[in-house]
Amino acid sequence: MSETIFTKIINKEIPADILYEDELALAFSDINPQAPIHFLVIPKKPIVTINDIAPEDKAIVGHLYWVAAQIAKEKGFAEDGYRAVMNCNENGGQTVYHIHLHVLAGKPLGWPPYQERLKAK
Ligand code: 5GP
């Protein structure tokens, strides 16, 4: 099993602003927020990329979305809306190889991301 910085966060070896935890998942604030609200929902199982999701992991991945929605409701931004997105490999912008759902909220978000990147250049 590969170990990343997220394994250390799961094991409480390094600190994080933890928003939710259960036996399958952990949610914590992103260290480098890209929106007024930006947190990550990760499985405790260290699945490397979306491509590595095995049939037995399908319920875990669905659970990550459920956790995202619970936090959105609890924090009061569910109705305004948010983005829940997972990056995969280099072109997807993945930098930590332990799957994680980015949850971004707190302002209207631009779409599509490719156009945003072109505009930023
Ligand atoms: P990716 O680029 O793989 O889709 O997203 C990785 C995310 O993890 C980034 O948004 C980055 O800011 C966040 N991140 C990386 N290291 C840490 C850390 O040590 N603590 C926290 N809270 N977030 C981290």
Residue 113 in tokens: 């991301």
Predicted pLDDT at 121: 57
Predicted pLDDT at 114: 80
Q: From the CB of 28, is ligand 1 less than 6 Å away?
A: yes
Tell me, what amino acid is at 110? G
- In tens, the pLDDT along 40-69 reads 999 999 999 999 999 999 999 999 999 999
What CATH number does the domain containing 45 carry? Answer: 3.30.428.10
Taking CA 96 as the corner, what is the angle to CA 93 and CA 100, rounded to the nearest 5 degrees? 85
Distance CA 40, CA 18 (A): 10
What's the structural domain count of the chain?
1
- In tens, the pLDDT along 83-103 reads 999 999 999 999 999 999 999
Predicted pLDDT at 118: 66
Question: Which ligand 1 atom lies nearest to the CA of residue 97?
Answer: 3
Q: From the CB of 32, is ligand 1 less than 6 Å away?
A: yes
Assess whether 100 carries a catalytic annotation.
Answer: yes
Distance CA 101, CA 111 (A): 18
Nearest CA to ligand 1 atom 4: 94
Tell me, what amino acid is at 14? I
Domain hosting residue 85, numbered range: 5-120
